[in-house]
Structures are given as C-alpha cells and as structure tokens.
Amino acid sequence: MGILPAMRGVTLYIMRQIAWPLVFATLTLTGVIWLTQALRFIDRIVNNNLAFLDFLYLTLLVLPSIVAIILPIAAFCATLYAFHRLASDSEVVVLSSTGFSRLALARPAIYISLIAMVLMYAITLYLMPLGSRTLRATQYEFRNDLAGMAILEGVFNTPTDKLTVYVRERDPNGDMLGVLVHDIRNGEQPITMMAEKATLLRTPQGPRLYMVNGNRQQIDPERKSLSLLYFDNYSLDLNSYSQKEGQSWREPSERYLHELFQPNMRDPDDVNNYNKLIVEGHRRLVTPLYAPALILIAIASVIGGEFSRRGQGQRLIIGGGIAIVLQILSLGVAHLATKSSILIPLLYITPLLFLVTAIFMLREPSLRTGLRAA
C-alpha cells in the first residue's frame, strides 16, 4: 500500500520540477518575441491615432502563433534543466536505487508533454487561425478608419495612396487651419482643395472632412484649362477613399483545418496553392507532436545510455544539438513537402522517429544489451 503513494509523490515532485521552469521559459520567451512583433505595429498606431488598448489588442492577436512556436522549445529547456538538476543532486541515483526505472522517472515528464500537446492542438487548430483572421480584419478596419487618422502639422500626410493632406497648424479646439487636400483617384483629373479651416468627423454615412472658406481646383484634360470653384462650406466624403478588401484570398495561416484540407477548387488561387494548403493542414496536426518528442530527447540526453557522474555538460550539449537538428529537419521537410506531396508522410515520420529513438535510449541498459546480444 505504501508503494503507490510513494510513486504518486515522486511523480508530482518531478512534475513540479518541470512545470515551474516551463512556465518561466514560456512567459520569458513569449514576452521577448511578442515585444519584437509589437514594434511592427507602432507606425500603424501613430498613423491611425489609435489608443493603447487598440495597440494591445492588435499585438495580443499574434500571441497564439508565438506560443505555438515557443511552447515545445520551452518544454525542452525546462525538462533538460529539471533532469539535469535531479541528476546533479544525485536524486536520480537515489530514485533508481529504490526501484524506479528510467521510463518510470520519465513518466511525469510524459504527462507534462501530453498536457503541452493538447494545448498546442487547441492553439494550432483553433486559436491560431482565429487570431490571424481577426488580426487581418482589425488591421483592415483601422487602416480604413480615415476619421481616426493622425494628421500631423506641417507634414504632407498620405492616409491612402490616392489622398494627400497638408495642415499648417491646429487650433486649441483640434480644428485644422490652412488645409490642402490633393486627390489623385482619377490620374487624368487630379483635384486640389484648399481651405482656411477643416474638421474631421465621424458620421453614420462614414468619415467626412468639413472644410470652410476655400476653393476646389480641377484640370480639364480636354480643354487644358483649370476649373476653379470657391466655397463657403464643403464636405468631402472620405469613405470613398477606403481600400475595399473585397473577396481577397485567405492565407493558409488564417484557415481552419477543414478549410485547408478542402480548398475551393473553383478558386484559381486555391488551385495554384493546393500543395501549400494541404501541407499547412498536416503541419497543424504534426506540430504538437514535437512537444513530447523534444521532452523525451531532453530526458534521454540526461539519464539515457550508460550512467556516469561525469560528462553531464557534454550530455546537455548533445541534447541541445539533437533538438536543433530536429527543428531544422521539421522546417526542411515542410518546405520539401510543399514542393512534392509525396513527401508529406515525412512530416509525421520526423518527430515520431526521434520520439521512438528517445524511448529506446531510456530503456534499461540490460534490456538494450540483451537485444544486441540476441
């Protein structure tokens, strides 16, 4: 009766030794990469005059893609650190002398790997495509919110490719003074408007620029003459300047699993990118398998093979090297599978091969010796 509680206690102890470094490594690495990705949105925040919460919302949408990459690496580092510590403190030797086999010692880490694998399936199959498509829709909305654009004083602002706005200064109420607007939507008939004062407003019909005391200049290409119209009040509809998204093609990262495996064969873009879509679907299914593969590699590199109190540093280097090779192979195989669908099974073989090899290395030396003798 005392054996089961002891095994349960050891299992929970080893899981705790892995869990805390895993949480720390995941948060640290995710934070660093998230910060570098967040810098890409700074110019958009400034140009569109967005609030900090909008900036935070945009950057949080990229987190699922970051975590999907970081989690297996963090799990490998945490497991390598935890088992190296257990081995250095002779806890592995003590547990082995009490009857714990190597696979028994690896069982807590396998539980951690299964939890990580389930989380990664939730991320890759649902959260990642949801975040990618939401990010694209939100960027489109902010990019075309011309009423919220930041118009800088003394600068030729280009909120869209077809519109240029110059403002001499702003008064205390936020109104723009000394305004010039240049419209080149019709390349043959560009329009220039100047006004003493202008206000940018949101209306139910869309964003509008209300100008006071100005003129509208347009060149007639047939008569080669300038048409000049003076106005007291003029309302410019900015909604027509918005870039219409239309039925643009959805990137593989924005698609759910069924959309990847069942592309629209009537869409020329889907037909041209058929292999790319299929490989992305298989990659979504394979990526979570790298969590248990890397964790078992970490364990095997520390306690696998013939036991020795020396050479722990060399074992860590070898384990890190194997993990790097596995990551490089995963990228290379995915690239090759995109070129030829025949190579798609390699996507599954690669992590499974390393996983099985790591399990074999964790078997007791006597069993492996017996197999070689046979």
Listed in sequence order, the DSSP H helices in 3-101 are: 3-38, 42-47, 52-60, 63-88, 91-97
Q: Are 346 and 354 in contact (CB under 8 A)?
A: no
Q: Where are the domains of the chain?
A: 3-143+249-373, 163-240
Mean pLDDT across the stretch 200-229?
A: 79
Q: What is the pLDDT of residues 320-344, one digit of tens each?
A: 999 999 999 999 999 999 998 899 9
pLDDT surpassing 60 at residue 244? no
Using a pLDDT cut of 90, give the percent of the chain over it: 35
Buried b (16+ CB within 10 A) or exposed e, 342-368: ebbebbeebbeebbebbbebbbeeeeb
CA distance 222 to 183: 19
Residue 272 burial by Cβ neighbours in a 10 Å radius (0-12, 13-18, 19+): exposed
With H, G, I as helix, E, B as strand and everything else as coil, classify residue 89. coil
pLDDT surpassing 80 at residue 304? no
CA distance 199 to 179: 10
Q: Which of 36-40, 96-100, 104-108, 144-148 has the lowest mean pLDDT?
A: 144-148
With H, G, I as helix, E, B as strand and everything else as coil, classify residue 230. strand
48: nearest Cα among 154, 177, 151, 134? 151
- pTM of the full predicted structure? 0.74
